[in-house]
Chain A
Amino acid sequence: MSTSQTSMISVQNLVRDYGPIRALSDVSFLIERGQVVGLLGPNGAGKTTCMKILTGFIAATSGQVLIDGKDIVEHGVEVRKRIGYLPENAPLYQDMRARDYLHFVARLRNIAPEKIKERIEHVAKVIQIESVLNQDIGTLSKGYRQRVGLAQAMIHDPEILILDEPTSGLDPNQIIEIRELIKEVGKDRTVILSTHNLHEVTATCNRILIVHKGRLIADGSPAEIQEQHGGSNTFKISIQGAGESVKDTLMGLEGVTDVVRLENQDQAATDWRLFGAADVDLRADIFNLAVQNGWTLLELHHERQDLETIFQRLTLT
């Protein structure tokens, strides 16, 4: 049984206000050793705020965070020793060489002076920044700066890694490599990463926390979330020749609970996603509706609810 005392990270009733803005309201979760957890949510959901509190950079308005049973406010320094943190946008000293910066961090991380060089070489190799070690951080490309940020978070081989959008700004090859690295590191460590990217969480995390408007609205493995929140059934349609009132017309269909317009490339057609009440197959009704209204139905697809759809629905309002 996991409790707030035995879990690696225990977050209890966390609330954080920025003046009148409530960025987090009553968020609670437990994270066990060896979990790789993805914090998923739209812009402004509260992901960064949550991470800043976990790392002790800002204080919670109320609520408590325990790291391995220790309160982060009372045992700040001790707890921070065990955490590696990559803040959003990797804020690093621009005027330092990457190597000097990593050296500085290694010193603050209390790595024995004779081991520092070796440690820097090792991390630089794993994160592939060997070629830029002697360059000023200010002159690095965004992706390389992000990687130096990752390197400093990992330099002391921490038990807990907290990474705020670790793959932002990286090129596709590098994204895949960093995801592999996170998975590898996550085998015997605890990792929390935030992202907007669903593929990222499914590719790297064994648990997803979906935050929306400061609240935790879903928690579980990708499969569990699909099971718990994939209840409604959806239909994707693409129609041509539909007028302004198409959304209302679709909403008027019996058994339809919601209609969302989707992005599409095709100028002539519009794409829609219809959410139906459970177990109702609307395909025939949709087809008939299209015929009645004189629309050309280019596509009609009964979707199994994937995470993307679930995420879209959960964070719609």
Chain B
Amino acid sequence: MRNILVIARREFFAYFGSATAYIAIALFLALLGITFFFEVPFLIAKPAFFDARVADLRPLFEWMMFLFAILLPAISMRLLAEERKLGTLELLLTMPVTESEVVLGKLFGAVGFLLVALVLTLGYPLLVSILGHPDVGPLVGGYLGVLLVGTTYLALGLLASSWTSSQVVAFLLAIVISATFTFIDLVPEALGLKAIPAFEVLSFNYHFKSIARGVLDLRDIVFFVSIIIGAVMLTTWSLESRKWKGA
């Protein structure tokens, strides 16, 4: 556990020296702001909004999760690909640490950075609370759910980053994987077919709905946690199998 935290700490602080990370955060906040300000006047115009004393944060969380699919790959891409390119992976893996400690350390470091990004979005719900009276429950639930979803994207991106020494390739692979997982439920419809229930359940999109309402359903938690565990295991395996390949 100590090793994981030591690696996570280094990874976390490394983001503050990375221009890509700042750009990703800035884009995230800006794009989120655009939706937010387009939504808010619309909500205010509806008297029911205040009558019901519920400020609806659903669009905010929904947008966050979609933006994650595109922006978090930019955060995860460097995690292992850069180490490979610079050769620093050699020093890291010849320390007395296991591959899974390295993988978890990297993931937690990135999640730490995601937390910073999420804290920076708190201004938006704060604004809503001035205008209306959002419930604290859904707010907390929504943020926890969004954090879980973000961690899932980061774990998938970390896996992609373990396959290549090119950050660009890692980024593109992560986007493809993330988009597939996110929108797979829409595929049959786009092809003019009937919805396939298995695709529905497997798609992130499907699980976003209750999270965006701020409801943390156990089934959603199990779903995302399983994907995180699966991605972490595959990444560890990818690092271990590297020993038999080139370098």
Interface residues of B in 1-32 (CB under 8 A from A): 2-3, 6-7, 10, 14, 17-18
A169 to chain B, nearest CB (A): 15
Interface residues of A in 67-108 (CB under 8 A from B): 76-78, 80-81, 83, 85, 87, 89, 91-96, 104-105, 107-108
Q: Across the interface, do B88 and A108 meet the contact criterion of CB distance under 8 Å?
A: no
**Does B97 reach chain A (CB closer than 8 Å)?**
yes
Residues in A with CB closer than 8 Å to B243 are 57-59
A77 and B88 contact, Cβ closer than 8 Å, known pairs A52-B247, A95-B17: no
- Identify the closest chain B residue to A107 (Cβ): B6
**Does A55 reach chain B (CB closer than 8 Å)?**
yes
How far is it, in angstroms, between the C-alpha of A80 and the C-alpha of B17 when the chains are bound?
Answer: 30
Q: Across the interface, do A55 and B94 meet the contact criterion of CB distance under 8 Å?
A: yes
- Identify the closest chain B residue to A76 (Cβ): B98
- Identify the closest chain B residue to A84 (Cβ): B94
Tell which of A52, A91, A94, A105 touches B95, judged by Cβ atoms closer than 8 Å. A105
Interface residue count on the B side (C-beta < 8 Å):
23
Tell which of B7, B90, B96, B247 touches A77, judged by Cβ atoms closer than 8 Å. B96
**Does A152 reach chain B (CB closer than 8 Å)?**
yes
Interface residues of A in 91-144 (CB under 8 A from B): 91-96, 104-105, 107-110
Interface of B is mostly: helix
Q: Across the interface, do B94 and A83 meet the contact criterion of CB distance under 8 Å?
A: yes
Residues in A with CB closer than 8 Å to B17 are 95
Q: Across the interface, do B93 and A91 meet the contact criterion of CB distance under 8 Å?
A: no
Residues in A with CB closer than 8 Å to B3 are 108
B137 to chain A, nearest CB (A): 39
**Does B244 reach chain A (CB closer than 8 Å)?**
yes
Q: A236-265 CB contact bits vs B (8 Å, 1 = yes)?
A: 000000000000000000000000000000
Q: Across the interface, do B14 and A52 meet the contact criterion of CB distance under 8 Å?
A: no
**A interface residues with partner B (beta carbon < 8 Å):** 18-19, 52, 55-59, 76-78, 80-81, 83, 85, 87, 89, 91-96, 104-105, 107-110, 152
Q: List 13 A-B contacts (CB under 8 A).
A: A55-B94, A56-B93, A57-B90, A58-B247, A59-B243, A81-B96, A85-B94, A87-B90, A91-B90, A95-B14, A95-B18, A108-B3, A152-B91
